[in-house]
């Protein structure tokens, strides 16, 4: 195995395990969050996109593909990141290191925190390296997510990606009202 940078060398390295978790369980955790409705909707969509509809949660706790090879996260997460694991990244096939959280709820809390910090939800004005502008519509949200989370660049998502995202948005909107 190629040596993959580890931003958490003090944490144990564990084997990667793909864990399916029912979306109902994830939705219940998201619903309990104090986040706004639009943040909850964005969280649900991102979980679905990042995990194949929750069929592949990294070690049962990482619902957002949170990596551990590109720098440390805010120190408030240090005690909640309990290990790291290495797996091939879905889009690139490259080996990447991912965090393992102490529990599923922490992974979802982390996701919500990052959504709020990046402004990837309707009602936000994003001024980032990749997406700049208002996020007032589900289509704008799809593009912001694509630029800021999926690609890490300024590019145009395919019409199919946007269509799928809009479908998930409409489904998620009904879950958290």
**134 CB-near residues (< 8 Å, 6+ apart):** 124, 125, 126, 140
Per-residue pLDDT of 32-50, as tens digits, reads 999 999 999 999 999 999 9
Average pLDDT over residues 103-128: 95
Per-residue pLDDT of 130-164, as tens digits, reads 999 999 999 999 999 999 999 989 999 999 999 99
24, pLDDT greater than 80: yes
Q: What is the pLDDT of residue 1?
A: 46
Quick one: tokens of 92?
């690139």
Residue with tokens 């519509």: 137
Give the pLDDT band (50/70/90) at residue 55: very high
Which DSSP string do the residues of 93-138 spell out, in sequence order?
--EEEEEEESSHHHHHHHHHHHHHHHT-STTEEEE-SS-EEEE-SH
| Percent of the chain scoring above 90 in pLDDT | 91
Segments making up each domain of the chain, as ranges = 1-102, 119-170
Quick one: tokens of 90?
């879905």
pTM for the predicted model, two decimal places: 0.93
């Amino acid at each position: 195995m190629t040596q993959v940078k580890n931003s958490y060398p003090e944490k144990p390295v564990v084997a990667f395990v793909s864990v399916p978790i029912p979306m109902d369980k994830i939705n219940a955790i998201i619903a309990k969050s104090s986040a706004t409705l639009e943040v909850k909707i964005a969280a649900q969509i991102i979980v679905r996109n990042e995990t194949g509809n929750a069929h592949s949660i990294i070690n049962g706790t990482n619902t957002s593909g949170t990596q551990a090879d590109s720098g440390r996260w805010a120190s408030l997460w240090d005690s909640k990141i309990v290990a790291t694991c290495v797996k091939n990244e879905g889009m690139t096939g490259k080996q990447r290191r991912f965090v393992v959280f102490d529990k599923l709820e922490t992974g979802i809390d982390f996701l919500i925190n990052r959504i709020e910090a990046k402004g990837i939800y309707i009602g936000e004005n994003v001024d980032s390296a990749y997406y700049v502008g208002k996020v007032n519509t589900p289509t704008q949200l799809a593009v912001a997510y694509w630029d800021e989370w999926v690609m890490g660049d300024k590019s145009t998502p395919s019409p199919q990606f946007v269509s799928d995202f809009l479908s998930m948005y409409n489904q998620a909107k009904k879950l958290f009202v």
